[in-house]
Amino acid sequence: MASREVEVAELPQRSEPPSGPFSDIARRLVDPFRTVSPPEPRPATGFFTDTTVCIGCKACEVACKEWNLLPADGLHWSGNSYDNTRALSATSWRHVKFIEQLGEPTPAASVAAPETPLTSSPAFSLQRLLHEPKDGRWLMMSDVCKHCVAAPCQQACPTGALIHNEFENVFIQPDICNGCSSCVSACPFGVVTRSSLDGHSHKCTLCYDRQRDGLVPACAKACPTQSIQFGPIDELRERARNRVEDLHSRGVTTAYLYGDTPSKSYSQLNSFYLLVDRPSVYGLPDSPFNPWLHMKGDYLRAIVSGLTPIAALLAVLFLLGN
Amino acid sequence: METNSRLQTPVVLPSPPWEERKVRGSSGYATGPVTKAPAWHGLVAWDMLFNGMTTGLFLVAAISELAAPDVFTSVARTAYPVAFVLLLVDLLCLVLDLGDPLRFHHMLRVFKPGSPMSLGTWCLTVYSVPLTATAMIGLLPGGWISLEWVRRLIVVIGFLPALGSAVYKGVLLSTNAQPGWKDARWLGGYLTNSALMLGCAEMLVLSVLMRHVSAAAMLRPALGLLLGLNLVPLCLLAVDLRTTLSRLYTRWQLCGVGTLALGGGVLLPLFLLLVVDSPLSMLSAVMCIALGSLVIRFVIIMLPHASA
Domains of chain B: 39-307 (1.20.1630.10)
Query: Which residue in the set A254, A285, A308 is minimally distant from B193, CB to CB?
Result: A308
Closest residue of chain B to A279, computed from CA coordinates: B30
A35 located within any domain: no
A265/A234 same-domain check: yes
Range of the domain at A314: 291-322
CB contact under 8 A, A156 and B176: yes
Where is pLDDT greater, at B60 or B19? B60
A91/A210 same-domain check: yes
Residue B12: predicted pLDDT: 42
Q: How many residue contacts between A and B have a Cβ separation below 8 Å?
A: 305
A189/A219 same-domain check: yes
A196 located within any domain: yes
A146 located within any domain: yes
Residues of chain A with C-beta less than 8 angstroms from the C-beta of B37:
184-185
Least confident of A86-90, A297-301, B148-152: B148-152
Q: Does B218 touch chain A (CB under 8 A)?
A: yes
> B142 burial class (0-12, 13-18, 19+ CB within 10 angstroms)?
exposed
For residue range A33-75, list pLDDT tens digits in order: 888 888 999 999 999 999 999 999 999 999 999 999 999 988 8
> A53 burial class (0-12, 13-18, 19+ CB within 10 angstroms)?
middle
A88/A102 same-domain check: yes
Residues B155, B69 contacting (CB under 8 angstroms): no
A271 located within any domain: yes
Query: Which residue in the set A149, A180, A268 is minimally distant from B117, CB to CB?
Result: A180
Residues A312, B197 contacting (CB under 8 angstroms): no
A218 located within any domain: yes
Within 8 A by CB and 6+ apart from A170, the residues are: A145, A147, A148, A151, A153, A154, A162, A163, A164, A203
Mean pLDDT of chain B: 89
Least confident of A152-166, B26-40, B102-116: B26-40
Compute the distance between CA of residue A166 and CA of residue A136 in angstroms, rounded to an integer.
Answer: 44
A196/A270 same-domain check: yes
Residue A137: predicted pLDDT: 87
For residue range B75-133, list pLDDT tens digits in order: 999 999 999 999 999 999 999 999 999 999 999 999 999 999 999 999 999 999 999 99
Closest residue of chain A to B29, computed from CA coordinates: A283
Q: Does B174 touch chain A (CB under 8 A)?
A: yes
A273/A297 same-domain check: no
Q: Does B96 touch chain A (CB under 8 A)?
A: no
Q: Which ipTM score applies to this complex?
A: 0.91
| pLDDT tier at A5, thresholds 50, 70, 90 | low
Residue A118 has pLDDT above 60, yes or no: no
A235/A316 same-domain check: no
**Number of domains comprising chain A:** 2
A311/A261 same-domain check: no
Residues of chain B with C-beta less than 8 angstroms from the C-beta of A291:
174-177, 182
Q: Which of A301, A304, A310, A319 to mutate to test the interface with B (most CBs of B within 10 A)?
A: A301
A183/A295 same-domain check: no
Write down the H helix ranges in A232-294. Answer: 233-249
Closest CA to A186 of B15, B118, B296: B118
Q: From the CA of A63, how many Å to the nearest CA of chain B?
A: 24
Residue A24: predicted pLDDT: 84
Residues B176, B182 contacting (CB under 8 angstroms): yes
Task: State the pTM of this model.
Answer: 0.88
Residues of chain A with C-beta less than 8 angstroms from the C-beta of B190:
305
Q: From the CA of B25, how many Å to the nearest CA of chain A?
A: 8
Q: From the CA of B272, how many Å to the nearest CA of chain A?
A: 19
Q: Does B78 touch chain A (CB under 8 A)?
A: no
Residues B129, B112 contacting (CB under 8 angstroms): no
Residue A114: predicted pLDDT: 46
A138/A67 same-domain check: yes
CB contact under 8 A, B107 and A298: no
CB contact under 8 A, A178 and B103: yes
Residues of chain A with C-beta less than 8 angstroms from the C-beta of B20:
278
A11 located within any domain: no
Within 8 A by CB and 6+ apart from A320, the residues are: B217, B218, B221
For residue range A238-273, list pLDDT tens digits in order: 999 999 999 999 999 999 999 999 999 999 999 999
| pLDDT tier at A149, thresholds 50, 70, 90 | very high
A312/A281 same-domain check: no
CATH value at residue A257? 3.30.70.20
Residue A37: predicted pLDDT: 86
Residue B33: predicted pLDDT: 86
Residue B27: predicted pLDDT: 59
B 107-126: CB under 8 A from A? 107, 109-110, 112, 114-118, 121
Residues B37, B178 contacting (CB under 8 angstroms): yes
Closest residue of chain B to A35, computed from CA coordinates: B109
| pLDDT tier at A192, thresholds 50, 70, 90 | very high
A24 located within any domain: no
Query: Which residue in the set B23, B33, B36 is minimally distant from A184, CB to CB?
Result: B36
Least confident of A135-149, B11-25, B157-171: B11-25
A122 located within any domain: no
Residue B3: predicted pLDDT: 41
A317/A206 same-domain check: no
Mean pLDDT on B170-192 = 96
Residues of chain A with C-beta less than 8 angstroms from the C-beta of B97:
180
Q: Tell me the range of A101-105, A302-306, B32-36 where mean pLDDT is highest.
A: A302-306
Mean pLDDT on A285-312 = 96
Residue B142: predicted pLDDT: 66
